[in-house]
Structure 1
Amino acid sequence: MPFTSQRTSSSLLEEHTRKNGKFSDAESSLASISTNQARASRKEHKLTHLLSCLGSSNPLPAPIAADDVVWLMDNVAFWDRGGHWEAEFVAAVFDQQASAKVVDIVGDIASKVGLARGGDEERTMERRISPFVMEILQGRQIKVRFNGPTLLKLGPGGRNGISSDIRRVPEPSTGPVAKSTADVPSGVTGVLEMKTVYAEPEGWAVISDIDDTIKITQTSDPVRILRSTFVSKPTPVPGMPELYSSINRLLAPSALFFYLSASPYNLYPFLRGFRDTYYPHGQLILRDSNWMTISGLLSSLTLGTEKYKIDRIKKIQRWLPRRKVICIGDSTQSDPEAYGEACRAFPQWIKLVLIRKVTDVAAVGIREKNEPERFERAFDGVPR
């Protein structure tokens, strides 16, 4: 069954959420102090900037320099049609020198969330905001040592500094997890190590949302999003770490986790640390949008989330069509609609859907998110 393209009920819920939460007002006020990451970096050569529009087809990629920041994202290896192992490698490159506007941004967010200047909370904000105000570096190619001797070349990245490449990888030789390290000049910082989990074609997999499913984010309120993202200690939803641990044990040894979030890739290190602290290891799939700003964080979490998640679910299904899948989400965003559409498209693939009914959404005046009629519409045609 093909995916539908007409305007969905989830888009109407997004409109209500944004209107009642005054998201547009918050984004407008933040946009004035956000860095414009769409422009060429101060380190970019004009030709590099021009060729970056070609993405991986760029014939003249730029090398990684000692004052760059490199992020390597954990991933999953799967069988291609010929029975060979391959994986999608996602990486990002930034300039270590953050924008001079970081002080203004910290001050502005502090005032919005009701914090006084100075103290530990402000230092936490500076650290977490940094990935949003570093200049993206376009057209970079990254060399990676995969599980030791194998050298992979990733990229070059596109206009948003992110590269995404399908690369064939060797047969597993040291167990189901391979570790890779960026082969970069001394001085480069960032997330320079990654894990690749070899996923056999059959078994179980879990596709899980993050915000308000396993992590308290309060996505219906822009101020609470800013506080939970930049100020507060990342807090798991009560009971969810225990649930995921139980699922992991129950499905072992074939358990495989994908954490599919509408959050932008700027939050990768932050969410990676949260995952490693509270939940089973799994691939983080985040949004590689052009909203590389603080105001863009709010847009990423509240605009077009159903279409984005359906697209990524289709990709996972292409990787692992013989797996049995459990989808877990919540009622604050478009998880019911996205998972319902996926169930109709792949009725033999998805075996169970769990939706956490978030009870505080009524506080922002959007009671229909938890009404039974919503779930009936979202899962219309899906066997109970």
Structure 2
Amino acid sequence: MWFGMRSSTCLSLLLLSTSSLPAHGLPAQQRAIFPSIGPLDDVLLFDAPAFVDGNNLVASVQAFVSLRQINLTPFLSAVQSAIEDAFDLDIGNKVAQVEERLRLFAAIGQSGKDVNVKVGGCSAAASGSGASVGKTSKLPDLGMVLGNVPLGSCAQQNGALTGAVEDKGTIITDARKFENTIFASGPDGFGVISDIDDTVKITNTLDKLGVVKSTLLDDPKPVPGMSSLYASLTKSLATSAPPQFIYVSGSPFQLYPFLRSFISTSFPQSRGPLLLQNLTLIDIPGLLDFANSDGIFEYKTEMIQRIQSFYPAKKWLTVGDSTQKDPETYANAFRNFGPDFIACIWIRRVDGADNSDARFAEAFQGVPQDKFRIFSDEDIPSLESIDVKGGKC
């Protein structure tokens, strides 16, 4: 099954402080000559959730098209200098790793590109040639597209499907493959909406230097006990199908490959799509200040509303931490959609965050006490025995 996407801006404007990089990619007249994906293009095809609509499956697909990167030396030099100056930190022999993790921050978005994705095991859409998603925005084009795409009748309505970008007009002469996993889930049953930073991954969100080290220099580490807990949830929340996991994070989408690799490695049994922010970034040290960016509550609220529109009859366990706005976000979702959608809220208590009774009382106003739980790290093993599917929290 084919569907077409023409890349357009759906999210915020990205600003880089590296003067050697053009702001909007190739000139419009030059871009128009090459509407298909070719050897000079890169495509980031995000993993996607898929939901049942009638007898058909629909995927919420996101892709980012950029000019293929040949030489990142100017960008990397600027990043290294800025980070070392701002944080008095010696990157040293970690330069190659820093380059890999920051590669997408230097990407130049391409507009006017047709992205054709083939999904194995699914029929053609009703139109015969697939659906077009993405709506031209008044914002400068970033090469980002996001939309709901009908997959038609698929061999399975629960589990993982594979999508792959295939070009229809230009021959790609190298062996690159642009693929994603589409996580299909039925209309009912259970799911888990989870934060990432300091919920399942140690990020040290409250410490800027800690964020830089954990994001650029260190091997990512899971919060102790969370991998086992999430693996247990794949069994305890299963009905006729395994639960759907969706990770909603305030991290910028440019960290997607790094975070996807972490989830795949540390949480292999509870993989799922990652919904990340597209932030307006002003300077290089600010690239890693996403933890303190404005609008995290609004962003996560919008993502939960999207999830509710995909799966209005599915119940969700929501898991977050106390460093940012997870208590307020999940409680707001409970008040908006009720216990038939938000079955339970779990919040990890992080040292140094506002863990006061007053904060939680205000955040969970209107939410019954038996519908949320504030847990410490020593409590994590005991969470495995809680019968969330049976109504306990």
TM-score over 0.5 (shorter chain): yes
1:189 and 1:215, CA in 2 relative to 1: closer, same or farther beyond 3 A?
Answer: farther
Rounded to whole Å, the distance in 1 between the matches of 2:324 and 2:22 is 27
Moved more, 216-225 or 236-245: 216-225
| Post-superposition CA distance 1:21-66 (Å, at most 9, x none) | xxxxxxxxxx88446978221x3335859xxxxxxxxxx9832221
Moved more, 194-203 or 103-112: 103-112
Rounded to whole Å, the distance in 2 between the matches of 1:316 and 1:191 is 28
Q: Could you tell me whether the CA contact under 8 Å between 1:329 and 1:336 is conserved in 2?
A: yes
- In structure 1, stretches of 5+ residues that fail to align are 1-30, 50-59, 362-368
Rounded to whole Å, the distance in 2 between the matches of 1:32 and 1:282 is 30
Letter in 2 for 1:370: N
Moved more, 284-293 or 70-79: 284-293
- In structure 2, stretches of 5+ residues that fail to align are 1-14, 370-393
Q: Could you tell me whether the CA contact under 8 Å between 1:264 and 1:289 is conserved in 2?
A: yes
- Aligned partner of 2:222 in structure 1 is 236
Which of 287, 295, 299 is 1:297 aligned to? 287
Rounded to whole Å, the distance in 2 between the matches of 1:276 and 1:109 is 28
- Aligned partner of 1:39 in structure 2 is 23
| Post-superposition CA distance 1:140-187 (Å, at most 9, x none) | 221111116857576568622210121111323167321111113425
Which of 176, 180, 188 is 2:163 aligned to? 180
Letter in 1 for 2:262: F
Pairing of 1:67-82 with structure 2 (within 5 A): 67-80=40-53, 82=54
Post-superposition offset of 1:238 = 1.1
Moved more, 244-253 or 190-199: 190-199
Which protein has the bigger helix share? 1
Letter in 2 for 1:263: S
- Aligned partner of 1:327 in structure 2 is 318
- Aligned partner of 1:307 in structure 2 is 298
Post-superposition offset of 1:84 = 2.6
1:324 and 1:145, CA in 2 relative to 1: closer, same or farther beyond 3 A?
Answer: same
Which of 122, 125, 128 is 2:101 aligned to? 128
2:144 equivalent to 1:162: yes
2:81 equivalent to 1:107: yes
- Aligned partner of 2:351 in structure 1 is 359
- Aligned partner of 1:221 in structure 2 is 207
2:357 equivalent to 1:372: yes
Q: Secondary structure at the match of 1:77?
A: strand
1:381 and 1:117, CA in 2 relative to 1: closer, same or farther beyond 3 A?
Answer: closer
1:152 and 1:215, CA in 2 relative to 1: closer, same or farther beyond 3 A?
Answer: farther
1:230 and 1:284, CA in 2 relative to 1: closer, same or farther beyond 3 A?
Answer: same
2:99 equivalent to 1:92: no
Q: TM-score, normalised by structure 1?
A: 0.79
1:35 and 1:262, CA in 2 relative to 1: closer, same or farther beyond 3 A?
Answer: farther
Rounded to whole Å, the distance in 2 between the matches of 1:37 and 1:344 is 45
Rounded to whole Å, the distance in 1 between the matches of 2:44 and 2:105 is 14
Rounded to whole Å, the distance in 1 between the matches of 2:357 and 2:22 is 42
1:72 and 1:376, CA in 2 relative to 1: closer, same or farther beyond 3 A?
Answer: same
Rounded to whole Å, the distance in 1 between the matches of 2:202 and 2:177 is 24
Question: What RMSD in Å do the two structures reach over aligned CA positions?
Answer: 2.7
Rounded to whole Å, the distance in 2 between the matches of 1:262 and 1:117 is 25
Q: Could you tell me whether the CA contact under 8 Å between 1:144 and 1:152 is conserved in 2?
A: no
Letter in 2 for 1:220: L
- Aligned partner of 1:260 in structure 2 is 248
- Aligned partner of 1:208 in structure 2 is 194
1:103 and 1:152, CA in 2 relative to 1: closer, same or farther beyond 3 A?
Answer: farther
Q: TM-score, normalised by structure 2?
A: 0.77
Post-superposition offset of 1:239 = 1.1
Letter in 2 for 1:165: G
- Aligned partner of 1:382 in structure 2 is 367
Q: Percent identity?
A: 31
| Post-superposition CA distance 1:286-329 (Å, at most 9, x none) | 11334386445345432111111111101100110100110000
Letter in 1 for 2:311: L
Rounded to whole Å, the distance in 2 between the matches of 1:301 and 1:61 is 38
2:235 equivalent to 1:270: no
Q: Could you tell me whether the CA contact under 8 Å between 1:37 and 1:292 is conserved in 2?
A: no
2:338 equivalent to 1:338: no
- Equivalent pairs counted in the alignment come to 334
Rounded to whole Å, the distance in 2 between the matches of 1:36 and 1:299 is 23
